[in-house]
Structure 1
Amino acid sequence: MDAAQVGGGGFADGTGVQSAAPGWRSTEDLCRVRVMRVTHALVQVAVAIMANPDDRQWGYALSRQSGVRSGVMYPILRRMLEEGWVKDGWESADEATKRRPRRYYLLTDRGRQALGALLVSAQSDPRFRGIQPRPGLQFDWKRLGLRSACD
């Protein structure tokens, strides 16, 4: 029996914690190799975010603009936060007069690239044909090198 088998799963260094592979911050990173699944809801949220990529995005407004229910949208936003596609913050108390402060989301450079690539690939995927911004939402498809389904 070697030291790695002693003590119910401890490792040879006696710490009980496996050391990370070179280039990884921790063994948790090794388990985190997953790709965000491209769904209709994700594409709709991406269209809503990319319509105003430089602005703060509010969860409720994103839900309305994308047509995605909050129970589906907030897990998408959480995964975007984990991937570094968006960052979040809270509006100041001065901005939130007579109500609780709201959480906002800001698109990062990494997110701009990822969501742009997602929308480019969605344009050629038959599952997402015809996805358009909801009425009242302006989206510049040409800015991303895309063409609208109406073109």
Structure 2
Amino acid sequence: MRLTLQVQLTMRVLLGEPDGELYGLELVDATGLPPGTIYPIMARLEGAGWVTSRWEETGPEAMGRPRRRYYRLTADGVARAREALAASDARRRGRRGRRAVGGALPGDALPGGAS
């Protein structure tokens, strides 16, 4: 699965409630991402087996609103999300760590013509 920044953000929110359930608009509110981004992400995560979903049991007419679809990380999803986010964080730290004093990258010419 491709871990875009949006997918990573969504997984971080889900990991904040690893045993809980969140419905789509809660994820929209928590991530700041639009529904047109959240719902395809959730479909991909569910297809990969990282999350499960269920429809709210109460009928929409009883609630006066549309039924909610709740999402929950699977046990495998918790482990894989933590692993994927840790790897992503390590890569990001590695890119930052390659910068030497003054913002130079290894192999860049040093000030004063030395290299």
TM-score by length of 1: 0.56
Q: Tell me which of 1, 9, 15 is aligned to 1:50.
A: 15
> Which secondary structure does the structure 2 equivalent of 1:125 belong to?
helix
Whether 1:107 and 2:107 are equivalent positions in the alignment is no
Per the TM alignment, residue 52 of structure 1 is displaced from its structure 2 partner at its CA by: 0.6
Task: Indicate the residue corresponding to 1:71 in structure 2.
Answer: 36
In the TM superposition, residue 81 of structure 1 has moved relative to its aligned partner by 0.7
Counting aligned pairs with the same residue, the percent is: 32
- 8 Å Cα contact 1:84-1:111 kept in structure 2: yes
d(CA) in 2 for partners of 1:72, 1:101? 20
Q: Which amino acid aligns with 1:55?
A: G
Q: Deviations over 1:17-55 (max 9, x none)?
A: xxxxxxxxxxxxxxxxxxx11110011001110011111
Counting only pairs closer than 5 Å after superposition, residues 1-150 of structure 1 correspond to structure 2 as 36-93=1-58, 97-126=63-92
Structure 2: state its 5+ residue gaps.
96-115
Higher share of residues assigned helix: 2
Q: CA 1:116–1:70 in structure 2 vs 1: closer, same or farther (change >3 Å)?
A: same
TM-score, structure 2 as length reference? 0.72
For this pair of structures, how many residues does the alignment match? Answer: 93
Please report how far the alpha carbon of residue 94 of structure 1 lies from its aligned counterpart in structure 2 after TM superposition.
6.7
